[in-house]
Amino acid sequence: MGCKLISLFLLTLLILTILSEADKALASDKKPQVSHRNITSLAAAGEGKATLKGKKQTSGCNLFQGKWVFDASYPFYDSSTCPFIDGEFDCLKFGRPDKEFLKYSWQPDSCTIPRFDGEAFLKQWRGKRVMFVGDSLSVNMWESLGCMIHASVPGIKTTFLRRNPLSSITFQEYGVTLHLYRTPYLVDISKEKVGRVLNLGTIEGGADTWKDMDILVFNSWHWWVHRGVKSQGWDFIRNGSSLMRDMNRLDAFNLGLNTWAQWVDQNINTSQTRVFFQGISPTHYVGKEWNEPKKTCIGQMQPLTGSTYPGGPLPAASIVSRVLSSMKTPVYLLDITTLSQLRKDAHPSTYGGNGKTDCSHWCLPGLPDTWNQLLYAALSM
């Protein structure tokens, strides 16, 4: 009887041991379940500043996906009272009869962006320097921001200097200066024996001026597609040791933008400077892009409805996204391309004061005010 009890006890102990080991094995095989939301949060925490690379979203909102809505509270300012506007952008001054194009605001699908407040901008960036670097689309955006701030603080004292390549608007009481540095290609054009040479691999002329700014907004593209001795800014292209009359312009832009990206990575102190890329501004010379084959921007009075452009994306915009994603420096992409494509009505067309048709630049007040409102949102949200 005693032997049977001992055997039963040993058998029970053996079974309990086996079950305990099985539980341990199962526990070691189990992996913690992390929701998609937690994965996203962990990734964002791990990436830190890197999450700004080519960034399109702010506080969970894609600022650049949305539609245009009529807004009677627009525009932000009256062109006749802004001292900074070039005649080529002052469409009302040169007889544009319709004003409805001034009354549209951009509404993102997933949030509401803050309305621009020029006084708040000046207080936030007191004593700081903002610089727009690029071509005439940078001029469009620079003048727009100057006018928006000027209208927000009536009677404010300003210093306005127009030079080439460096111009500035200073709001004296706050010590805020908006600089403009004109350089259509970002990379260098040098004078050599053969003529003007576009150097795809160098950024030396003026780049030291860009350093130590508090906000930098870069832009380039339109001049890369100009052709002919009078229209383009160069006679030859240098790519490494090769000197050539011409090459594929998208390839050239890609090489030049990569040189710019390397310069930013090597020279910008991100603890001091926030860097933006303005994005590719579209043109509206070819009506078939929006299903009006015989038309251009001339006579257009309303934006396209919806949130997609019939003509599709621009190849240059893809190059910008790809280059920004390869950079070490966090650069915020102001992805203005699609929302600007929808604004076939916002160009000077024949109201630029020079008798030409302009479907490249934008009226002021107008679309560049929205670009600046999105810049303001990206800085404040």
Per residue in 190-228, pLDDT (tens digit) is: 999 999 999 999 998 789 999 989 999 999 999 999 998
Q: Let me know: does 348 contact 91? Beta carbons within 8 Å.
A: yes
| 19-33, 65-79, 131-145: segment of lowest average pLDDT | 19-33
Annotated catalytic residue within 136, 144, 281, 321 = 136
Check if 214 is active-site.
no
Q: CB under 8 Å to 37, separation ≥6 — which residues?
A: none
d(CA 62, CA 64): 5
Q: CB under 8 Å to 218, separation ≥6 — which residues?
A: 133, 134, 186, 260, 275, 276, 277, 278
Where does residue 113 fall: left (phi above 0), alpha (psi -120 to 50 degrees), or beta otherwise? Answer: beta
Check if 358 is active-site.
yes
Residue 380 has a pLDDT of: 86
Query: What's the chain's Rg over C-alpha atoms?
Result: 28
Considering only CA atoms, which of 341, 347, 351, 354 is closest in space to residue 307? Answer: 341
Annotated catalytic residue within 79, 349, 361, 369 = 361
Provide DSSP, 112-153: -PPPP-HHHHHHHTTT-EEEEEESHHHHHHHHHHHHHHHHHS
pLDDT of 240 strictly over 90: yes
Give the tens place of pLDDT for each residue, 307-361: 999 999 999 999 999 999 999 999 999 999 999 999 999 999 999 999 899 999 9
Check if 361 is active-site.
yes
Residue 51 has a pLDDT of: 37
Q: Let me know: does 121 contact 146? Beta carbons within 8 Å.
A: no
Q: Let me know: does 286 contact 296? Beta carbons within 8 Å.
A: yes
Give the tens place of pLDDT for each residue, 269-315: 999 999 999 999 999 999 999 999 999 999 999 999 999 999 999 99
